[in-house]
């Protein structure tokens, strides 16, 4: 996190705000609810309180304005700059302006008002932009499901540096952005997707380009707003050119970046009994899909559409040398790459043996 240079902050904690005008795209109630929820993001981890007033001078004025609007920081029409806000202080200090030419929504369509408002109010309170890609105060817009939104730890650290901890006996904590070179990094799921390799972790995924070996971190929600965080397994069905993603008993299908209609579905469709509550990892190879659940391996025949007899069997029996629970697995050339905790094992499908073991985050260029 970063504080605004000079660390300007409000000297009182019971702040007031006033909504000067509204956007015609959302009802007044929806705007008020989004703004109230955005302020609550900051009041929960700090001693700050926010009270709406409808008359007089508020600490934080909120307005929807287009282009040049008198503060020497013109907006630029749809997309580009979405909003801005001023650091704590009298007059325009603390005020937040939203580009009235944007499309403001209360869902995953660009741009969710609650998320942008929560970010701008961070500036109104004295925070600057954070270089943590998972932080609310990161400069670029990134959709996150408002119904499950919790302020990331980086932002909590920032606001508490300025105003101290919350008055509640239990200090709230928030999610931290995974770092590629964390020696303890475990992947939730790994799959290939038309040549690229996707490493899923919490609400993020690293995408590795096969030739350039560049790795970039993205929000799952940026590509697939409807997918949940915390995916557990994933595999690419090369014959159908589909990627399947699993969480709990539900699974989704992607064709490229497009989510297929009619999903999520229940893994009962694969023939799993109700006793199987979740899938740890999955990989498809030569018309068979291998599912890893606890210390067992199931094998599904893609063309017959049923599980093969003789399964489940122990993982170490199906893949000698893989004597651990599997977090994730994917196929590359004639190798299955099994990930377990901070390690991966390369299983040679020709010699039917483990031929290499190393750190998982080597795949992220660490």
Note the residues at the interface with other proteins (CB under 8 A).
4-6, 73, 75, 79-85, 110-111, 116, 119-120, 123, 128-129, 131, 133, 139-141, 214, 216
Q: By C-beta, is 75 or 200 nearer to other proteins?
A: 75
- Tell me the closest approach of the beta carbon of residue 306 to other proteins, in angstroms: 44
Question: Would you tell me the crossing angle of helices 113-124 and 28-43 to the nearest 10 degrees?
Answer: 50
Distance, CA of 96 to CA of 106 (rounded, Å): 18
Nearer to other proteins, 124 or 284 (CB): 124
Catalytic residue selected from 32, 52, 120, 196: 120
Q: Minimum CB separation from other proteins for residue 213, in Å?
A: 13
Q: How many CB atoms lie within 10 A of CB 36?
A: 16
Q: Alpha-carbon distance 53 to 72, whole Å?
A: 27
Q: What is the phi/psi pair of residue 196, to 5°?
A: -90, 160
Taking the complex as a whole, the smallest distance from the CB of residue 211 to other proteins amounts, in Å, to 14
The pairing of beta strand 14-19 with beta strand 49-52 = parallel
Under 8 Å between Cβ of 283 and 289: yes
d(CA 22, CA 180): 42
Nearer to other proteins, 3 or 346 (CB): 3
User: For residues 66 and 248, which CB has a smaller minimum distance to other proteins in the complex?
Assistant: 66
Residue with tokens 């900051």: 42
What residues form DSSP beta bridges with 7? none
Rounded least distance, CB 139 to other proteins, Å: 5
Sign of CA pseudo-dihedral 312, 314, 320, 322:
positive
The answer to whether residue 52 is catalytic is no
- Residues with Cβ < 8 Å from 292, sequence gap 6 or more? 233, 279, 280, 281, 282, 298, 315, 325, 326, 329
> Nearest distance from residue 224's CB to other proteins, in Å?
17
Nearer to other proteins, 139 or 165 (CB): 139
Query: Which of 84, 288 has the CB closer to other proteins?
Result: 84
| Distance in Å, CB of 63 to other proteins, minimum | 14
Residue with smaller CB distance to other proteins, 126 or 146: 126
Minimum CB–partner distance for residue 300 and other proteins (Å): 38
Ramachandran quadrant class, 80 (left: phi over 0; alpha: psi -120 to 50; beta: rest): left
**Cα 125 to the center of its chain, rounded Å:** 25
Query: Helices in 179-314 by DSSP H: which ranges?
Result: 220-223
Q: How far apart are CA 10 and CA 88, in angstroms?
A: 6
Any idea which residues carry the catalytic annotation?
A: 120
């Amino acid at each position: 996190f970063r504080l605004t240079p000079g660390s300007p902050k409000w000297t009182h904690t019971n702040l007031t705000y006033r909504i000067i005008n509204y956007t015609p795209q959302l009802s007044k109630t929806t705007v008020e609810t989004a703004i109230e929820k955005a302020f609550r993001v900051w009041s929960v981890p700090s001693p700050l309180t926010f009270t709406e007033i409808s008359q007089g001078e508020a600490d934080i004025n909120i307005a929807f304005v287009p282009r040049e609007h008198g503060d020497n920081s013109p907006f630029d029409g749809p997309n580009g700059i979405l909003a801005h806000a001023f650091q704590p202080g009298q007059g325009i200090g603390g005020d937040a302006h939203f580009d009235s030419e944007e499309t403001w929504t209360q869902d995953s369509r660009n741009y969710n008002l609650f998320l942008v408002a929560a970010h701008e109010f961070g500036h109104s309170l004295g925070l600057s932009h954070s270089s943590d890609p998972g932080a609310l105060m990161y400069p670029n817009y990134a959709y996150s499901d408002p119904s499950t939104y919790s302020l990331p730890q980086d932002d909590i650290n920032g606001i508490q540096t300025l105003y101290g901890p919350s008055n509640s006996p239990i200090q709230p904590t928030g999610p931290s952005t995974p770092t590629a070179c964390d020696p303890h990094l475990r992947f939730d799921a790994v799959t290939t997707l038309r040549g690229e390799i996707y490493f899923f972790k919490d609400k993020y995924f690293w995408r590795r380009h096969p030739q350039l070996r560049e790795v970039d971190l993205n929000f799952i929600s940026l590509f697939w707003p409807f997918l949940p965080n915390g995916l557990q397994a994933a595999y690419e069905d090369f014959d159908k050119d589909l990627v399947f993603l699993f969480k709990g008993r539900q699974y989704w299908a992607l064709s490229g970046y497009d989510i297929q209609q009619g999903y999520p579905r229940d893994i009962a469709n694969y023939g799993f009994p109700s006793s199987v509550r979740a899938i740890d990892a999955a990989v498809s190879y030569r018309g068979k899909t291998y599912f890893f659940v606890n210390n067992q391996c199931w094998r599904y025949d893609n063309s017959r559409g049923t599980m093969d007899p003789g399964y489940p069997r122990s993982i170490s029996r199906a893949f000698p040398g893989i004597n651990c629970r599997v977090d994730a697995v994917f196929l590359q050339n004639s190798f299955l790459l099994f990930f377990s905790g901070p390690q991966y094992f390369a299983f040679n499908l020709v010699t039917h043996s483990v031929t290499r073991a190393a750190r998982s985050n080597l795949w992220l260029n660490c």
